[in-house]
């Protein structure tokens, strides 16, 4: 048991460092080719902070652990929304741009609703699952989101670099990307295998392990990013990281998992997706309460309280 816990912690360390190296390498490569910071943040950094969820899910999907796949994605999204945004909002009330209120937050809500409908075979009926076709449909939705992002950014002109900019060497950039990916793969493997071993030995369901330990662990990059952004009074990064990551997880991470291997769906996950939908609606509504287009501290505290109650009920059901 203690050995498995040690391996899980080691896996989380590899996931965090792997994501960090991958982001650093990819960002250096992008900057070297004069891609704007904003585009880097919305694409490469977003991918980097969600890469742990992606790797863990691909491994779990290949090994046929459907509850881990869903638990990681839905659990991570709820953790992002209720805990990470709650902590960031307590540090500093988060002011939100108009485009985030009317476009990105509704997109995040739509992604959760589409995932709920496809998982429950709302359109075709039959056994509950996320098929390869469903995965492709989600990928098409993700492509539409990327189109939206680049359409928003196409008018932006990257700043001119100094006459003699200093970049990491090409060898260092390649090394960061390669070792980052390796850390993600091996870290994900350690987390999935040993979390399942602990669940089996304790009689705890894979669903609970996926919704709690794995979801929280793979969300650490988002937690650090949003907390630091709040301390630096950068509200756009704090909330953009959470909303963007939730869209990425719901439309890209789980869709790739389904394309790799169809995922059986446990209908008990409907409760967690309803919680995610309700939390996103609350976030949207909060933009019109008190300080307009702002998440105040009391609203952030309420997010944390709701998640605490939810987690307590989950644990009580397992005992």
Encode pLDDT of 233-261 as tens digits. 777 777 877 888 899 999 999 999 999 99
CA atoms within 13 A of residue 243's CA, in its CB half-sphere: 26
Provide the pLDDT confidence category of residue 41 given band limits of 50, 70 and 90: low
Q: Which residue has the tokens 């009391």?
A: 298
pLDDT digits (tens, 9 = 90+) for 57-88: 888 888 888 888 898 899 999 999 999 999 98
Q: DSSP E strands: which ranges in the chain? A: 94-95, 129-130, 263-264, 294-295
Please give the pLDDT value at position 99: 66
Examine the pLDDT at 312 and tell me if it is beyond 80. yes
Q: Residue 45 above 70 pLDDT? A: no
C-alpha distances out from residue 22 to 4, 32, 38, 45, Å: 26, 15, 17, 9
Tens of pLDDT, residues 261-274: 999 999 989 999 99
pLDDT at residue 136 greater than cutoff 90: yes
Ordered structural domains, the chain, with CATH: 2-154+163-318 (1.20.1420.30)
Residue 217: C-alpha distances to residues 34, 35, 77, 115, 195 (Å):
33, 31, 12, 22, 11
Under 8 Å CB-to-CB from 68, ≥6 apart: which residues?
56, 57, 60, 192, 195, 196, 206, 209, 210, 214
Phi-psi region of 13 (alpha: psi -120 to 50; beta: other; left: phi over 0): alpha
Distance (Å, whole) CA 90 – CA 77: 19
Q: Which residues make Cβ contacts (< 8 Å) with residue 319, sequence separation at least 6?
A: none
Mean pLDDT over the full length of the chain = 82
Q: Could you give the percent of the chain with pLDDT greater than 90? A: 28
- State residue 280's pLDDT score: 95
What pLDDT is recorded for position 74? 92
SS3 of residue 93 by DSSP: coil
User: What pLDDT, on a 0 to 100 scale, did the predictor assign at position 291?
Assistant: 58
Those residues whose C-beta lies under 8 Å from the C-beta of residue 188, and which sit 6 or more positions away, are 11, 15, 52, 55, 56, 58, 59
pLDDT of residue 140: 96
Model pLDDT for residues 145-201, shown as the tens digit of each residue? 888 877 766 655 555 555 545 567 888 888 888 888 788 778 877 887 888 788 778
Asked if the model's pLDDT at residue 223 lies above 70, the reply is: yes
Residue 38: pLDDT above 60? no
- Out of 8-12, 55-59, 300-304, the most confident range is 300-304
d(CA 51, CA 61): 15
- Residue 215: pLDDT band with limits 50, 70, 90: confident
pTM for this structure?
0.80
Q: What is the pLDDT of residue 157?
A: 52
pLDDT, tens digit, 9 for 90 and up, residues 89-112: 999 888 777 766 778 889 999 999
pLDDT of residue 232: 76
Give the integer Cα–Cα distance in Å for 242 and 104: 11
**What is the rounded radius of gyration, in angstroms, for the C-alpha atoms of the chain?**
19
- C-alpha to C-alpha distance for 162 and 271, rounded to whole angstroms: 53
- How buried is residue 120: exposed, middle or buried, by Cβ count under 10 Å (0-12/13-18/19+)? middle
Which region among 135-144, 198-207, 280-289 has the lowest average model confidence (pLDDT)? 198-207
pLDDT at residue 272 in the model: 94
pLDDT band with cut points at 50, 70 and 90 for residue 125: low
């Amino acid at each position: 048991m203690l050995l498995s816990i040690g391996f899980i912690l080691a896996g989380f360390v590899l996931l965090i460092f792997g994501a960090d190296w991958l982001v650093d390498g990819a960002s250096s490569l992008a900057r070297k080719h004069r891609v704007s910071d904003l585009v880097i943040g919305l694409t490469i950094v977003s991918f980097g902070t969600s890469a742990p969820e992606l790797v863990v899910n691909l491994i779990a999907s290949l090994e046929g652990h459907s509850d881990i796949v869903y638990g990681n994605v839905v659990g991570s999204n709820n953790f992002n929304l209720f805990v990470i945004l709650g902590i960031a909002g307590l540090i500093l009330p988060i002011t939100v741009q108009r485009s985030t209120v009317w476009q990105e937050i509704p997109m995040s809500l739509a992604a959760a609703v589409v995932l709920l409908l496809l998982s429950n075979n709302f359109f075709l009926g039959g056994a509950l699952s996320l098929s390869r076709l469903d995965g492709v449909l989600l990928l098409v939705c993700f492509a539409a989101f990327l189109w939206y992002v680049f359409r928003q950014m196409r008018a932006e002109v990257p700043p001119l670099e100094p006459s003699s900019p200093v970049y990491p060497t090409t060898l260092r950039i390649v090394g960061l990307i390669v070792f980052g990916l390796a850390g993600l793969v091996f870290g994900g493997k350690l987390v999935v295998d040993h979390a399942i071993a602990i669940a089996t030995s304790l009689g705890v369901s894979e669903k609970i392990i996926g919704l709690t330990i794995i979801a929280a662990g793979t969300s650490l990059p988002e937690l650090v990013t949003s907390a630091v952004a709040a301390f630096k009074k950068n509200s756009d990064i704090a909330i953009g990281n959470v909303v963007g990551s939730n869209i990425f997880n719901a439309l890209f991470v789980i869709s790739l998992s389904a394309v790799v291997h169809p995922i059986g769906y446990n209908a008990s996950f409907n409760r967690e997706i309803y919680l995610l939908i309700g939390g996103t609606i609350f976030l949207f509504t909060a933009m019109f309460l008190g300080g307009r287009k702002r998440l105040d501290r009391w609203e952030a505290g309420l997010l944390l309280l709701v998640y605490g109650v939810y987690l307590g009920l989950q644990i009580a059901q397992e005992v």
